[in-house]
Amino acid sequence: MAPAIDTLLFDFGGTLDADGVAWKERFHALYRGEGLDMTAEAFAPAFFAADDPLVDALPATAGLAETVHTLAANLEAELGCLARTAKERTDGDRGRRVASHFLSDMSTIFARNRPVLETLGERYRLGVVSNFYGNLEAVCRSSGLAPLFAVMTDSRRVGAEKPDPAIFRAALEALNAAPETTLFIGDSLRRDCEGARRAAMGFIWIAPEDVQAAAAQATGPRSVPAAVTKLPDLLKVLK
């Protein structure tokens, strides 16, 4: 008989703040809504060029709003370099609108997920493990989620990024938890699922139905990990 699960570790972006959709895809959708005519493939390099400089550049005290607005400002600068018209280059309000919509969407998800996490916290030790900028704790505090987690493990603080098992071991050690009695919940198969596998933990995937179906078609249903489409579904899975 498998040992009983007593610890749940969560990814942050795409898992606690959305239903299995990463920041890059959500920013792209918002920019498309603002009229940006750019494919996801063309948008990705601009996003990473805006995102990467935030690592170690944001102060450890930077909350969620500061983080998102700084990312949006960086992204505006990158997109400005690629703009085809003067209007696209000079629309300074676009980034602020995108950041505000992004934060509003997150706030809605946090409000829905908070009572779910509170319920799970009555039965399990909870923690966060995220590839982040060095300010994960401040972001969790400003999101109102920090009191729910016994540990918030930031890749920049640990010096290891998912899927490196070292970042998972850091969280497990802080919680005095064993990998065989821990589940990791995340939205990325490459970082979260593979990282959990390397750390000998179980895994639950949060992803939209079409993404799960595509993965099953590509690899076979038996290769797809246990999955839900939104965090509240964990209450049905973890009975």
pLDDT of residue 220: 75
Inter-residue contact 103 to 68 (CB < 8 Å): yes
> What single letter denotes the amino acid at residue 217?
Q
pTM of the model: 0.94
Compute the distance between CA of residue 149 and CA of residue 18 in angstroms, rounded to an integer: 18
Angle between helices 23-33 and 64-82 (to 10 degrees): 60
pLDDT of residue 218: 84
pLDDT of residue 22: 97
Inter-residue contact 5 to 202 (CB < 8 Å): yes
pLDDT of residue 80: 86
10-residue stretch averages of pLDDT, the chain, 239 residues long: 89 98 98 94 96 95 98 94 59 89 98 98 97 98 97 97 97 97 96 96 96 87 84 92
- With vertex at residue 20, the alpha carbon angle to CA 17 and CA 11, rounded to the nearest 5 degrees, is 60
Six token digits for residue 167:
């970042």
pLDDT of residue 84: 60
